């Protein structure tokens, strides 16, 4: 719906100068056929600009040049203004919707070449320069702005997508932390409470079979033992609910290194302090990911170079360092997204660690990561999600765009109605009826003539008419109240000299 509203608004704004050029009281205004042709071209361009931006850019530039060259020598203002709004708007949209800029550049080069060539043929150097400058301002600049807006929108969209990805990863880390906490509670319940219940069941069972107790006491002990057993079973059910399914075992770093050695890569592994081998499952997976990705990058970008891996257990976590020397042979192109190191940095940051990857001064590459003993998460319960922020922002942008569209449509409609209203008022308040005009005669006094004249004149100096003689003062009046009628542009001219009417002329102009 909004797309249709924007298309209608754009067409209205672009069509306003065409309507003005068709109804303006100028000798070289657009004919009805020309105006309709321009409106049809604008409508087709608005409809096709999303799918064929380069074609629309070439079409609208060529249409503007045809109108410009046909009237540049007679009315430069009309020639430039007729399709200027449409050329600016559609050039911007062509740049905004183009996936690549090559075709747009080709279309603009064709337009600039046609501007220079056509200007030289039609009117010489001045016309060529004017056409070239107009195409640069009305087409090239808006197209470049549209290309910038597309790149900016892509960057913003990529930022939102990245934020949502990071948020999903953080939420997954929070869920994993919750699962570990549930497993810890389940283990404690099983080890402590379950043990005590088992001891209680044994003691009560001993009372149940004691021969010295009366029968009623043994019956009570039997009921107590059954109650303790039932409680132990309910505890087991609760433990099974709290304890998550066992994750797939994490492949040890030693296994990764041994597999790389078997493939022919010289890899050296150093593990310092025993604590480095006893890692939290999430941290262990992160270490596995960093090591495997670093080895893969070394194989791709530094074939034949030795790789040194060190794991050092520290008091607050683990230090991981992977270093490869300079390539021993030329690297070959290998497929990949080119985002492996970026993904590693994000993964390490999600668990609360630090990550750095940089070339070494003496050649080769180095990957350094510091990981905490346990994952650290920063997402608090109840924090608004990125998707919520994005939806709220997009909703505000849509509301703003809707208001902008409505204001633009109202402004264009107001301009068109104001122009048309002014033409009607100008003609209706300056009518000298044919009857009164016929009753005037040359030599009549200006005071007598003024008795039948309307309160205001139509125009002071109509285009295309020869100037009056020296000493004459001429006034122009409408012949009909409707400026859009068949003879709506005809004028009555009355000229005075020394207080006397010296000339009366009916000026007829083509509709």
CATH code where residue 471 lies: 3.30.1450.10
The whole-angstrom separation of Cα 151 and Cα 158 is 10
For CA atoms 391, 397, 400, 402, the dihedral sign is: negative
Domain for residue 378, yes or no? no
**Contact (Cβ atoms closer than 8 angstroms) between residue 60 and residue 89:** no
pLDDT score of 20: 64
Q: Which secondary structure element, helix H or strand E, spans residue 171, and what is its range? A: helix 141-188
The whole-angstrom separation of Cα 237 and Cα 234 is 5
In the block, residue with structure tokens 């004249």:
453
Residues 31 and 171 in one domain: yes
Residues 12 and 80 in one domain: yes
Residues 227 and 269 in one domain: no
The SS3 call for residue 317 is strand
pLDDT score of 111: 87
Residue that is last in its domain, among 246, 281, 314? 246
Residues 220 and 261 in one domain: no
pLDDT score of 386: 63
CATH number (domain holding residue 316): 3.30.565.10
- Which among 475, 488, 487 is positioned nearest to 449, based on CA atoms? 475
C-alpha Rg value of the chain to the nearest Å: 43
Residues 274 and 211 in one domain: no
Residues 154 and 79 in one domain: yes
Domain for residue 393, yes or no? no
pLDDT score of 152: 79
Domain for residue 402, yes or no? no
Domain for residue 406, yes or no? no
The SS3 call for residue 381 is coil
**Contact (Cβ atoms closer than 8 angstroms) between residue 78 and residue 26:** yes
- Residue span of the structural domain in which 345 resides: 255-372
Domain for residue 476, yes or no? yes
Residue that is last in its domain, among 246, 265, 300? 246
Q: Which secondary structure element, helix H or strand E, spans residue 441, and what is its range? A: none
Domain for residue 412, yes or no? no
Residues 178 and 230 in one domain: yes
> Between 141-188 and 102-122, two packed helices, what is the crossing angle to 10 degrees?
170
Residues 241 and 280 in one domain: no
Residues 218 and 262 in one domain: no
What the block records as the tokens of 386 is 């990125």
Number of domains in the chain: 3
Residue that is last in its domain, among 203, 218, 246? 246
Domain for residue 42, yes or no? yes
Residues 72 and 210 in one domain: yes
pLDDT score of 459: 65
DSSP letter assigned to residue 458: S
In the block, residue with structure tokens 């320069």:
129
**Contact (Cβ atoms closer than 8 angstroms) between residue 265 and residue 305:** no
Residues 357 and 438 in one domain: no
The whole-angstrom separation of Cα 115 and Cα 136 is 10
Residues 60 and 184 in one domain: yes
For each successive 10 residues of the chain (511 residues), what is the average pLDDT? 58 66 65 81 86 89 86 75 83 86 86 87 79 85 84 78 76 70 64 66 72 77 76 68 57 85 86 65 83 84 86 82 82 52 77 86 88 68 58 67 65 69 82 88 87 80 70 87 76 89 83 53
Domain for residue 415, yes or no? no
């Amino acid at each position: 719906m909004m797309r249709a509203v924007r298309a209608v608004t754009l067409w209205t704004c672009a069509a306003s100068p065409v309507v003005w050029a068709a109804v303006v009281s100028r000798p070289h205004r657009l004919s009805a056929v020309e105006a309709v042709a321009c409106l049809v071209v604008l409508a087709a361009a608005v409809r096709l600009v999303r799918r064929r931006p380069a074609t629309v850019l070439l079409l609208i530039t060529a249409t503007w040049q045809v109108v410009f060259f046909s009237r540049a020598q007679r009315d430069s203002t009309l020639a430039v203004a007729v399709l200027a709004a449409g050329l600016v708007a559609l050039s911007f949209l062509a740049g905004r919707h183009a996936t690549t800029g090559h075709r747009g550049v080709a279309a603009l080069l064709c337009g600039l070449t046609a501007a220079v060539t056509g200007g030289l043929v039609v009117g010489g150097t001045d016309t060529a320069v004017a056409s070239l400058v107009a195409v640069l301002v009305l087409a090239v600049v808006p197209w470049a702005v549209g290309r910038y807006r597309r790149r900016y929108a892509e960057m913003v969209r990529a930022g939102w997508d990245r934020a949502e990805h990071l948020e999903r990863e953080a939420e997954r880390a929070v869920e994993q932390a919750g699962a570990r906490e549930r497993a810890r509670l389940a283990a404690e319940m099983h080890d402590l409470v379950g043990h005590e219940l088992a001891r209680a069941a044994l003691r009560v069972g001993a009372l149940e079979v004691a021969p010295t107790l009366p029968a009623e006491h043994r019956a009570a002990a039997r009921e107590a033992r059954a109650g303790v057993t039932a409680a132990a079973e309910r505890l087991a059910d609760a433990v099974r609910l709290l304890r998550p399914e066992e994750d797939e075992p994490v492949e040890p770093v030693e296994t990764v290194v041994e597999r790389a050695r078997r493939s022919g890569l010289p890899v050296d592994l150093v593990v310092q302090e025993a604590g480095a081998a006893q890692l939290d499952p999430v941290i262990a997976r992160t270490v596995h990911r960093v090591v495997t990705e670093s080895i893969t990058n070394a194989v791709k970008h530094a074939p034949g170079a030795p790789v040194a891996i060190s794991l050092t257990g520290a008091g607050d976590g683990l230090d991981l360092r992977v270093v490869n020397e300079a390539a021993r042979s030329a690297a070959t192109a290998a497929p990949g997204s080119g985002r492996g190191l970026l993904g590693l940095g994000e993964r390490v940051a999600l668990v609360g660690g630090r990550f750095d990857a940089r070339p070494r001064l003496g050649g080769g590459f180095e990957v350094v990561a510091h990981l905490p003993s346990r994952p650290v998460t920063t997402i608090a319960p109840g924090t608004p999600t990125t998707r919520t922020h994005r939806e709220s922002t997009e909703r505000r942008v849509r509301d703003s765009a809707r208001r902008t569209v409505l204001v633009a449509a109202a402004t264009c409609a107001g301009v068109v109605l104001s122009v048309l209203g002014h033409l009607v008022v100008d003609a209706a308040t300056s009518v000298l009826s044919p009857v009164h005009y016929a009753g005037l005669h040359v030599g009549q006094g200006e005071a007598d003539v003024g008795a039948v004249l309307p309160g205001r004149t139509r125009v002071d100096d109509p285009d295309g008419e020869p100037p009056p003689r020296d000493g004459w003062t001429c006034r122009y009046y409408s012949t009909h109240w409707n400026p859009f009628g068949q003879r709506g542009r005809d004028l009555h001219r009355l000229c005075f000299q020394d207080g006397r009417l010296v000339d009366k002329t009916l000026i007829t102009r083509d509709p």
